[in-house]
Structure 1
Amino acid sequence: MKIQMQPMGAYQTNCYIVTVDGKDFIVDPGVGATEWVIAHTTNPVAILNTHGHFDHVWSNAELKERLKVPIYCPEGDVFMLEKDPFSQGTPSSRADVAVKPDETVIIEGIGMKFLHFPGHTPGTSAIELGDIWFCGDFLFKGSIGRVDFPYSDPTAMKKSLERAMEYPKNVTLHPGHGPNTTLEAEKRVIPYWIKAI
């Protein structure tokens, strides 16, 4: 597996290109991601959204049009792609596949699981590929996603954090903002955030 990452836009949202068996998966193409993605892919097969916030999906529509690849988004957040609920001027896109909570999808023979961790948004998911999570705005190094936005749910976030604490294996976390970390490392600080919410 090869992972390329580039922070995009004013919020420095991490866009990832994940290459498995020569197939490129684009994770969270944010503001201005299109040209970087095109320059760094050779065989794009899908766009994967961890959740529907504008800074993670801004380039969905343009990339779908130019690369002719489908968009996979957690079903709880597909409305955000279409309706621009935060009035940011986000180009409208449509999920080709609305992924159900904890569903494993097979794309070009590659399996990945959309682990559902609602709270930051209704559909927030960590995309598990092998021993890696692309966790969007669920977990960051030393922190968690905000729960004070429209459509956020602090109670759901607490349950999601408790679920993460019980996850049985260590995985490397590639978050939507900031540096990589591991679930084992974050389990040392998650209890603080459960109490703080």
Structure 2
Amino acid sequence: MYEVKKISAGILPTNTYVLYDSQTKCCVVVDPAFDGDKITKFIDEKGLKPVAVLLTHGHFDHCGGAKPIVEKYGVPVYGSEKDAALAASASKNLWGVFCHDCKITDYVDGIDSFSVGSFSFGVMKTPGHTPGGVCYFIDDIMFSGDTLFKECIGRIDLPGGDYREMMDSLSKIALIDKNYKVYAGHEENTDLFHEFRFNPYLSAFKRSK
């Protein structure tokens, strides 16, 4: 059985998720934000065994806390090669916020799925907010990063943002026929069928199908 712990941190704030298997105790950390020590404390208190870090994109507020996790547990970092340079320069963010640079070690660009530890993830490329945006799927869970929020979407006016790519990504999400629980990069969590009804960006695509 999979469980998800949400840890919100930082000035924005960003949602970091620890997905763990209650039977095997394996876990992955999705989008480790600023406070890597807070994340490792939860992992150790639960007796979890980290097997990977997953990045939905390379912005500093989604990868700036990865370094303490990688150094302590020796885990790989999955993400898009298109955002590798962005993550690698996270400390030079435009907000002037202290965080660590992050090295993506395992690229997901050429695959639709991968397995690590006791987990098997589906991968959907969702550029728009950044060139290397990715959504991850497992069981009834969707990690949407800054592509999809509750009744909204991620910004496209930041460097690397692209309106047309975001619309293409949303059109792909609109084709999904399963009601995933959506764990977003900021704000509240939601579910996909709710977004199909009440998110104006997604509902427009659903009406056109």
TM-score greater than 0.5 by the shorter chain: yes
Instruction: Name the residue aligned to 2:59.
Output: 53
Superposed displacement of residue 105, structure 1: 1.2
Superposed displacement of residue 190, structure 1: 4.0
One-letter amino acid of the structure 2 residue matched with residue 22 of structure 1: K
Instruction: Name the residue aligned to 2:176.
Output: 167
Give distance in 2, aligned partners of 1:157 and 1:194: 14
1:153 pairs with 2:155: no
Counterparts in 2 of 1:47 and 1:174: CA distance versus 1, 3 Å: same
Secondary structure in structure 2 of the residue aligned to 1:150: coil
Give distance in 2, aligned partners of 1:134 and 1:65: 24
Q: Which runs of 5+ in 2 are unaligned?
A: 205-209
Q: Which runs of 5+ in 1 are unaligned?
A: none
Question: 8 Å contact 2:32–2:65 — kept in the other structure?
Answer: yes
Instruction: Name the residue aligned to 1:36.
Output: 38
Superposed displacement of residue 163, structure 1: 1.3
**Segments ≥4 residues shifted beyond 6 Å:** none
Superposed displacement of residue 103, structure 1: 2.4
Counterparts in 2 of 1:177 and 1:101: CA distance versus 1, 3 Å: farther
Instruction: Name the residue aligned to 1:9.
Output: 10
* RMSD between aligned residues: 1.8
Instruction: Name the residue aligned to 1:69.
Output: 75
Superposed displacement of residue 192, structure 1: 4.1
Give distance in 2, aligned partners of 1:155 and 1:23: 38
Instruction: Name the residue aligned to 2:19.
Output: 18
Give distance in 2, aligned partners of 1:153 and 1:44: 34
Give distance in 1, aligned partners of 2:63 and 2:165: 23
Superposed displacement of residue 24, structure 1: 1.0
Question: 8 Å contact 2:174–2:202 — kept in the other structure?
Answer: no
Secondary structure in structure 2 of the residue aligned to 1:187: helix
TM-score (norm 1): 0.91
Q: Cα deviations across residues 30-77 of structure 1 (Å, max 9, x unaligned)?
A: 012x22211111211111111101000001122211221111112221
Instruction: Name the residue aligned to 2:124.
Output: 115
Counterparts in 2 of 1:91 and 1:171: CA distance versus 1, 3 Å: same
Question: 8 Å contact 2:170–2:201 — kept in the other structure?
Answer: no
TM-score (norm 2): 0.86
Instruction: Name the residue aligned to 2:107.
Output: 98
Counterparts in 2 of 1:25 and 1:8: CA distance versus 1, 3 Å: same
Moved more, 153-162 or 87-96: 87-96
One-letter amino acid of the structure 2 residue matched with residue 2 of structure 1: E
